[in-house]
Each structure stands twice: as C-alpha cells, then as structure tokens.
Amino acid sequence: MSSEGPVVLIHAFPLDASLWDPQLSEAPAGFRFITPDVPGFGRSTDAPARSMDDIARSVLRVLDHERVDRAVIGGMSMGGYVTLALYRMAPERFAGMILADTRATADSDQQREARRKMLAAVRDGGPSAVADEMLPKLLGATTQRERPELAKTVRAMIEGNSADAIAGALEAMMGRPDSTPLLRAISVPTLVICGAEDVLTPPSDSEALHAGITGSRLAILNGAGHLSNIESPDMFSITVNTFLSGLSSSL
C-alpha cells in the first residue's frame, strides 16, 4: 500500500461522520482516513438517498473527488450495508474491508415492520422521536452504566440530522438485498468487528460474516454495544490500526 493509504469509513444510522472522530485522532502513520457524510446527513449538501446503491454511488463520488483509485473501505451498521453494496458495484476500488457492528442479511419481516414504525415516528415527531426510540439500543449496558454522558453526544448527532434524511435511510435499509451470497466473493483482506453487548447486530451476525468471508479476521470488543468505536474507542482503534498495519506490508 502507498505511503498515504486511504481508508474510507462510513457512519452508522442515524448519526453522521463525526462518529469517527476518535479514530481520526488515532489514525496510524501512513494512512489517511476519509469519513464522508452519507447524502442528507451531517454536513452533506446532497439530497437524501433512498437506496443502498444510491448511497454507495455517493461514496464512489467521494473517491473520485479525492482521486482515490483503491482504498480500505468500511462502515459501521448502515455503513456496513453501504460497504457491501459498494463491493457488489465496484470491487476493484477495494484494497481491504472493515465491517463493524453490521450484518449481511436483508431485513426480516419483523425488522421491516419496526422500520415502518420508525418512519411514522420520524414523520410525526422528527429526529427526537428516533433518538428516544434508538438510544437504549445503540449503547451497550456497560456504557449506559459507566458512561451515561455518551448518550447526550449520540442524541445530539441524531437530532442534528433532518427527518427527510432519516426517512430516506430507513427506506434504503428496508429495501437492501441479502448480501450473504456476496460474502464468498469477497477476496480482499477483511476485518469484522463487533461490540460484545450489541443488541441490534449481535456478535452472532459478525460471526456469520467472518464465517462467510474467507480469511477474514474477527474481533469482539468487551464492554461495548452497537457503537463500539465510541464505546470502546481505544480498543477499536488498536484493532483497526493493527489490521491496517498488516495491510501496509502485504499490499
């Protein structure tokens, strides 16, 4: 990998790119972290997207704008769904992959119904209603007990986004395909990472990703929930940076 190897990290729903601030401050020498906001979120001025492919195309535009041919590309939760959609679309743009607190499968009927209810909630009550519903599930039990102030940070991220952007992302997640058949085609070095206390995409989902992607590495972070990168920032960064350091000597 080049001396300035690019790493693209795609944020979770319903947050923004500031989710990755702890990793930006710990980026290893020789790597450049790029953390785009998906359409409609954070500082993005693009219209909200309503399909995973549209979000993936927005990441391709970021790569082109940054003049990046290949990068380590990864994401957390929804960002993982985008990563898999992007690999399906343009595998040649990947030098490696990071899948954090995410899954390959499409939504079940029960999960789609839950998203429909959230769509109604965001239309009626705005981002605050989504924050009320999701916060207890986004953070693990240890974080809620030992770092309750983190909930305020996460709430601020959620409430900083528009209702339309959140609704578009919900529609995109509801409509995404099952990526399980794609896993066996992934031929780049891959890190799968998950919080041990994640109740939205539990470790069993990460274990399925690891089993499906030949040669992948799996890391389960104790004391962290669905937002493992901010709940256990030091261990998350160490895990990611160790993975990247291995790539720098082999690519």
Going from the C-alpha of 169 to that of each of 19, 98, 120, 129, the distances in angstroms are 17, 21, 14, 16
Q: Is the pLDDT of residue 232 over 90?
A: yes
Count how many Cα atoms sit within 13 Å of the Cα of residue 68 in the half-sphere of its side chain: 25
Check if the beta carbon of residue 49 is closer than 8 Å to that of residue 38.
yes
Domain residue spans of the chain: 5-248
Give the H or E element holding residue 177: none
Give the H or E element holding residue 176: none
Check if the beta carbon of residue 137 is closer than 8 Å to that of residue 199.
yes
Q: Is the pLDDT of residue 251 over 70?
A: no
Quote the mean pLDDT of the chain: 95
Mean pLDDT of 43-62: 96
d(CA 98, CA 9): 8
d(CA 21, CA 37): 13
CB count within 10 Å of CB 221 equals: 25
d(CA 243, CA 100): 13
**Angle, to 10 degrees, between the axis of helix 78-89 and the axis of helix 52-65?**
70
pLDDT in tens, 93-138: 999 999 999 999 999 999 999 999 999 999 999 999 999 999 999 9
Residue 247 has a pLDDT of 87
Q: Left, alpha or beta for 126 (phi > 0: left; psi -120 to 50: alpha)? A: left
Structure tokens at 147: 């770092």
Residue 44 has a pLDDT of 96
Q: Is the pLDDT of residue 250 over 60?
A: no
Check if the beta carbon of residue 8 is closer than 8 Å to that of residue 60.
no
- Choice between 28 and 59, residue whose per-residue pLDDT is larger: 59
Structure tokens at 130: 């989504």
DSSP string, 220-233: EETT--S-HHHHSH
Instruction: Calculate the CA dihedral of residues 170, 185, 27, 158 and round it to 10 degrees.
Output: 10
Q: What is the identity of the amino acid at 74? A: G
Beta bridge partners of 106: none
Residue 248 has a pLDDT of 64
| Architecture category of domain 5-248 in CATH | 3-Layer(aba) Sandwich (3.40)
